[in-house]
Amino acid sequence: MQITIEHGMQSITVSRPEGTTVGALLADPNIRAVAGFGENVTPIVEGAVVDQSYGLSDGDTVSLQARAATKA
């Protein structure tokens, strides 16, 4: 299946097997390097914030939005 990943001005489309989760995409070091995102992102699919267990479908677009920094 084809999944598009957007982060800032970057956008890439990758092929992944059926059943791929958002977490699997975020953990892939090759995707991280090409899309240029770090640890501190929120995944959004179809306009809704999703967690890492969210199962992706063919044609989905995962938008990665930087989370605001917080002080502890």
Mean pLDDT of 46-57: 95
Residue bearing the bigger pLDDT, 45 or 9: 45
pTM recorded for the entire structure: 0.84
> What average pLDDT does the structure give for the chain?
88
The DSSP code sequence of 32-44 is: HHHHT--S-EEEE
Q: Which helix (H) or strand (E) holds 2?
A: strand 2-7
CATH architecture of 2-66: Roll (3.10)
pLDDT reading at 72 higher than 90: no
Q: For the chain, what are the domain ranges?
A: 2-66
In this model, does residue 71 exceed pLDDT 70? no
Whether 41 shows a pLDDT value over 90: the answer reads: no
Are 19 and 55 within 8 A, CB to CB? Answer: yes
pLDDT score of 68 more than 60: yes
